Amino acid sequence: MLQKEFEALTGKKVTAEEYAEIEKVYMAASGMDKQEFCAAWNAGKLCYIVDELVKHVRALEEVRDRKKAQVEAAEKKAEAAARMLLAKADKYDDGDLKTAAIDLVGLMQVVLIDVEEGYKLSNVERDYILENL
């Protein structure tokens, strides 16, 4: 919605700074159309607008929680795969498998797993430990 549209729909003149703040509220209340928002604003029904904002926030929180759960599950799978790669890398002295594990979970996590499991450390891992102690 443009400032001119807001002013036309509400019959109120606002400064550019005031409209910038109003627009933030309008954009956050994404479930409301221009007319509905302006009618509520004009009638002083800020509670109605806040209720719409709360609904929007709750929907975003649900999306965030689902995404967080997906990320956590993916991280667990990645760590399990890295552990398998590192076990094979240690058994067969295969640097490519260790590199694949590093690419999967990062050098710090690989160092932690290798130390925890008693696997041989590569020069890169030793350097990492010395730099970060």
Over the stretch 46-80, which tens digit does the pLDDT of each residue have? 878 888 887 888 899 999 999 999 999 999 999 99
**pLDDT tens across 75-107, in order?**
999 999 999 999 999 999 999 999 999 999 999
Domain locations in the chain?
67-133
**Eight-state DSSP code of residue 32:** S
CA atoms within 13 A on the CB side of 4: 0
Rounded Cα distance, 131 and 108, in Å = 12
How many other β-carbons are positioned within 10 Å of the β-carbon of residue 1? 16
**Total length of the chain:** 133
pLDDT band at 25 (very low <50, low <70, confident <90, very high): confident
Q: Which candidate, 108, 102, 94, 114, places its Cα nearest to that of 78?
A: 102
Higher pLDDT, 55 or 119: 119
- Answer yes or no: is pLDDT of 113 > 90: yes
